[in-house]
């Protein structure tokens, strides 16, 4: 993953696209890894993405059958938040653990207690690895790959966190292999093993245990960090914009009251709540730069010649803040996603999940989680920013995803 730090960092220049011709640097940039996220476009990526999408659907993504799993997790989040009463607390571990449990229950077949030390360490490692992978030292690794093996500094720390994550995931995969019952697949890993066995005589098949490790790593990392950072941003924005929070509360009161459990069927009746989530996503662009592409032909775009073979890094952050597209783009205004009748409007330039063939594979899952968790938390709590605490920078911390800077919050029971 570190190989990509160069692209992601350079793409931060706030033009909508960043072009880079690999030969200009006099060294070869490594662009591919197994898995889905950084797999090169081709038959292996297609096979793996198709299988992963249909297996996620099998486990309820995009359908109501997944709702109970997400709702179950909400019970634990609320219990944790209630423990703090009127005191402020750090919401990061609670939200990360809860979001990760949704993907873990589908992919690994189990959820983890919020006190589970090994899992807590894993989530910390993951956030740290993402942060380190865009550390400016890491850029040098693209030029001198051997730096990665230095026995000190951020390289050593990155190696250690990568090793811990690898050990954790490989242990779970091995346990699945040893206890597999092909007639009763428990989760994504079991389905993958079964599919690999079915395909074992197919020479074109890319399904094997080594590849499975990368797919699970992608699901685990992409499925945790993105959605949890979006939810954390939502809580932060609600605490800093109480007038918006009041409107969300009013809509929830009208549609759900205090006791009705939120469901995707309520979405259509809650346009302001949805518009609020969308505006947080627009403002914060938790995946500010999407997956690098490569020009298959020389092309001219807006007067710029893009030579064949150029690496292109679409800058989603910049699209979301483009003053030619959005009125007052730096202001937080959920109503920009509503028409004069208060109904939700789709905006072409709203692309938090990217676009095209590599569009986010977890979009449906993320949208379900964001709506159900946000609506349910807002139904139960009023979020306040602690009075005497300094306001955090709203620019966030860049580390492959854009996370909010650390903050504490008060969750008052409604």
Chain residues binding ligand HEM by CB under 6 A are 36-37, 49, 103, 218-219, 222-223, 226-227, 230, 286-287, 290-291, 316, 352-356, 358-362, 365-366
* Pairwise CA distance, residues 32 & 38, whole Å: 5
Would you say 95 and 73 are in contact if contact means Cβ atoms under 8 Å apart?
no
Name the minimum Å distance from CB 251 to ligand HEM: 21
Q: In angstroms, what is the minimal distance from the CB of 67 to ligand HEM? A: 16
- Nearer Cβ to ligand HEM (270/287): 287
394-398 long-range CB contacts below 8 Å, 24 or more apart? Answer: 394/283, 396/233, 396/284, 397/131, 398/12, 398/134, 398/288
Measured from the CB of residue 226, what is the shortest distance to ligand HEM in angstroms?
A: 3
Backbone CA torsion sign across 361, 365, 367, 369:
negative
Helix ranges (DSSP H) in 199-306: 209-240, 242-255, 271-284
Answer positive or negative: Cα dihedral of 321, 326, 331, 335: negative
Least spacing, CB of residue 233 vs ligand HEM, in Å: 10
Q: Nearer to ligand HEM by C-beta: 353 or 381?
A: 353
Rounded CA-CA distance 296/293 in Å is 9
Helix (H, G, I), strand (E, B) or coil at 342: coil
Q: Pick from 12, 46, 16: which is nearest to 306 by CA? A: 16
> Which residue's CB is nearer to ligand HEM, number 334 or number 362?
362
Q: Measured from the CB of residue 137, what is the shortest distance to ligand HEM in angstroms?
A: 25
Residue 360 marked as a ligand binder? yes
Q: How far is the CB of 31 from ligand HEM (least distance, A)?
A: 12
Nearest CB to ligand HEM, comparing residues 238 and 366: 366
Q: Of the two residues 96 and 155, which places its CB atom closer to ligand HEM in the complex?
A: 96
Say how many C-beta atoms besides its own lie within 10 A of residue 287's C-beta.
24
Is the Cβ of residue 26 or residue 43 nearer to ligand HEM in the bound state? 43
Q: How many CB atoms lie within 10 A of CB 38?
A: 18
Binding-site entries for heme? 360
């Amino acid at each position: 993953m570190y190989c990509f730090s160069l692209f992601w960092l350079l793409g931060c220049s706030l033009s909508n696209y960043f072009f880079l011709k690999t030969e200009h640097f006099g060294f070869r940039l490594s662009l591919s890894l197994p898995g889905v996220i950084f797999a090169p476009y081709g038959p292996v990526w297609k096979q793996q993405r198709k299988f992963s999408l249909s297996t996620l659907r099998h486990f309820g993504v995009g359908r109501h059958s997944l709702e109970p799993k997400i709702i179950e997790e909400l019970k634990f989040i609320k219990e944790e938040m209630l423990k703090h009463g009127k005191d402020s607390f750090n919401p990061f571990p609670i939200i990360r653990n809860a979001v990760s449990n949704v993907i873990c229950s589908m992919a690994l077949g189990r959820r983890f207690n919020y006190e589970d030390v090994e899992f807590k360490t894993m989530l910390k490692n993951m956030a740290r690895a993402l942060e380190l992978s865009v550390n400016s030292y890491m850029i040098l690794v693209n030029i001198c790959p051997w730096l990665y093996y230095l026995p000190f500094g951020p390289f050593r720390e990155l190696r250690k966190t990568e090793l811990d994550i690898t050990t954790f995931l490989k242990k779970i995969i091995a346990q699945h292999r040893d206890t597999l019952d092909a007639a009763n697949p428990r989760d994504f890993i079991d389905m993958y093993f079964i599919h690999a066995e079915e395909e074992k005589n197919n020479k074109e098949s890319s399904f094997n245990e080594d590849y499975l490790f990368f797919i699970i790593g992608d699901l685990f990392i992409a499925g945790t960090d993105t959605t949890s950072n979006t939810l954390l941003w939502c809580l932060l924005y609600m605490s800093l914009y109480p007038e918006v929070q009041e409107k969300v509360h009013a809509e929830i009161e009208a549609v759900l009251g205090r006791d009705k459990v939120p469901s995707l069927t309520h979405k259509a009746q809650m346009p302001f709540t949805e518009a609020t989530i969308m505006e947080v996503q627009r403002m914060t662009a938790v995946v500010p730069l999407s997956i690098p592409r490569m020009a298959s032909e020389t092309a001219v775009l807006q007067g710029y010649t893009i030579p064949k073979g150029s690496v292109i890094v679409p800058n989603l952050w910049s699209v979301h803040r483009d003053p030619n597209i959005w009125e007052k783009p730096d202001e937080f205004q959920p109503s920009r996603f509503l028409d004069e009748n208060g109904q939700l409007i789709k905006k072409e330039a709203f692309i938090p999940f990217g676009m095209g063939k590599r569009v986010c594979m977890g979009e449906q899952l993320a949208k379900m989680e964001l709506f159900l968790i946000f609506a349910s938390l807002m139904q139960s709590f009023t979020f306040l920013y602690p009075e005497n605490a300094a306001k955090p920078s709203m620019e966030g911390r860049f580390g492959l995803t854009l996370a909010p800077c650390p903050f504490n919050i008060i969750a008052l029971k409604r």
